[in-house]
Amino acid sequence: MASKVLDRVEKETPMGSSIMGLADEAELWARRDSDPQAREELVNRYLAFAKSVAVRYRSQAESLDDLIQVASLGLVNAVNRFDPERGIPFIAFASPTITGELKRHFRDRTSAMRLPRSLYDRIGQIDIVVSDLTSRLNREPSSAEIAAEMRCPEEEIIEAFEAGGNRHPISLDQGPSSPDDGSTSPSEWLGRDDSRFETAEHRIMLKAAMTDLSREERMVISLRFRDELTQSEIAEKIGHSQMHVSRMLRRILDRMGDRLPAAA
């Protein structure tokens, strides 16, 4: 196999260029499966390329060192799977393998929320475009400029930004950002006690006790105890005398009182 690779290298190398390095690499590929040192040498030769791919995916969500490790793993897989006899340059073969490993890492490891793969891919593309536009414009690009660069609707860029920002929710147990910060964890100030929680059981019993009241009787109870109207004000609203309202309230409360023990 090595002789075939060397023949191909000699034919494809331009006149006057050195083929010693390529010939040496062809020999390494020939010994890859039987010689661990040859495989290690191949990995070391392309390690800088793997790092350059990792840098393209650098973001605040993951450290560059971790991304380099993932890219290096993708490089090792590419070295193990590469077939020199197919005539494809190794970098052309390794690039999608390393990129795929990085995308899987972002999809499976760095997010607390599982997003569609298409959305993860778009977030990765946006990171690259933002970095490029920032260098060219000397400022942060707008969503419209990113959409124009990627030739997609601006709504897709906004959706990706929102999804990217929500992939890492803050834990309610997370403490202050620094030891000198006097703030407390979100669990201590987020939300509040429901003021009606303690009366929930009473409301359930009252609802059961009011099941047989007429519409007018319910109105009188509501006006008296919810709106806190006087008997005279209730009488004006329902068109009866104050005495009538007084007797009605007494009768309603007696009936409800008889039902409350059973409801409890």
- Report d(CA 49, CA 212) in Å as an integer: 81
114-169: CATH topology is Arc Repressor Mutant, subunit A (1.10.10)
Q: Say yes or no to pLDDT of 234 above 50.
A: yes
Average pLDDT (43-68) is: 85
- Residue 62: φ, ψ to 5°: -150, 140
Q: How confident is the model at residue 17, as a pLDDT?
A: 37
Q: How confident is the model at residue 99, as a pLDDT?
A: 86
Average pLDDT (183-195) is: 65
200-263: CATH topology is Arc Repressor Mutant, subunit A (1.10.10)
Q: How confident is the model at residue 173, as a pLDDT?
A: 64
Strand partners, 62: 59
Average pLDDT (219-248) is: 89
Domain boundaries, the chain: 1-110, 114-169, 200-263
Average pLDDT (259-264) is: 58
Q: How confident is the model at residue 19, as a pLDDT?
A: 37
pLDDT tier at 255, thresholds 50, 70, 90: confident
Lowest mean pLDDT among 22-26, 145-149, 215-219: 22-26
Span 1-110: which CATH code? 1.10.1740.10
Which of 80-84, 105-109, 186-190 is the most confident on average? 80-84
| Averaged pLDDT of the chain | 77
CATH topology identical between 1-110 and 200-263: no
- Residue 184: φ, ψ to 5°: -100, 175
Q: How confident is the model at residue 119, as a pLDDT?
A: 77
Average pLDDT (127-156) is: 86
Under a CB-based contact definition with an 8 Å cutoff, are residues 191 and 183 in contact?
no
Q: Could you tell me the pTM of the whole model? A: 0.40
Q: How confident is the model at residue 65, as a pLDDT?
A: 87
Report which of residues 10 and 67 the model is more confident about. Answer: 67
Which of 129-143, 196-210, 217-231 is the most confident on average? 217-231
Q: How confident is the model at residue 114, as a pLDDT?
A: 67
